Amino acid sequence: MSQMGIVTNETHVYFAEAGPPWPGPPEEPGPPPPPGLLYSAQKAGGSAELLLELEDEILTPLAATQQGVVILSGERLYLVGDDGVELLEHIPPLSIAYDVQVADGRAYWSNWGSVREPTELFAADLAGGEPEVVTEINGSFTVGHGRVLWKTETVVNDPLVQVEVLFMLDLDTGCVTELPSRGESMSTVMLDAGHVYWKSFNSLGNSGEDGCVLPLPLLRANLTSGALEELSVEGFDITLCTDLVAQNDETLFMRTWPDQSLIAIDKP
């Protein structure tokens, strides 16, 4: 099965899978085939419970809210709750070109087709209402805890490095701040109330047979002071084959490849 994402709340982990058992690399890149499966598992332990099976579509979980799990399937957003599956009709269809996230009771999206140029970031309340333009961004974004972060990229030579930088918009004040970095590429970032976390590497240089062996730094930046900190994980190395996939207030979750193990890392 192909892994399609993980979201968490205080008591549960929700994860999605798609397709039949993995037969090997596809002939052409693309999304996995149906069915789409959504599971729930208690953090305290126990077996996973199947919440939803879509025979003709795949799905991606976006957030676990008090009302249920928000998923993206077939260009539309749905809420999976105790009473079934509800289409969020006030949010327009979102093609595969759009980056979509859910935070603080709102859905946010921007057009991935314009990731290298300024593009509008839209938002709409999950409960209803018309979509609105939040701001203009230049890169892929992350949202939560009253902030929007977006990642810009440039390529420098001698040595050849793809440099990515995070900018942060405070949704209350409208102020934009550039956050510190190592002048390298950034993995998927994870945002909590006080920090943003990422794996630092050079996407144009870190590769080859040692990619799953050589350790890489796990960094976090303080959203208030701007202080940059490298985290030490006892007994576990972050590499190109470990990906940040989810987090909560106390824990970072990383998936390892190719065995697809899920690793929980306590935040300091």
pLDDT above 80 for 260 = no
- CATH fold group of domain 139-268: Neuraminidase (2.120.10)
Q: Report pLDDT digits (tens) over 179-217.
A: 999 999 999 999 999 999 999 998 887 666 677 888 999
Query: Is residue 210 helix, strand or coil?
Result: helix
pLDDT band at 159 (very low <50, low <70, confident <90, very high): confident
The domain ranges of the chain are: 139-268
Longest dimension (CA), the chain: 58
Q: How far apart are CA 88 and CA 78, in angstroms?
A: 5
Radius of gyration of the chain (CA): 19
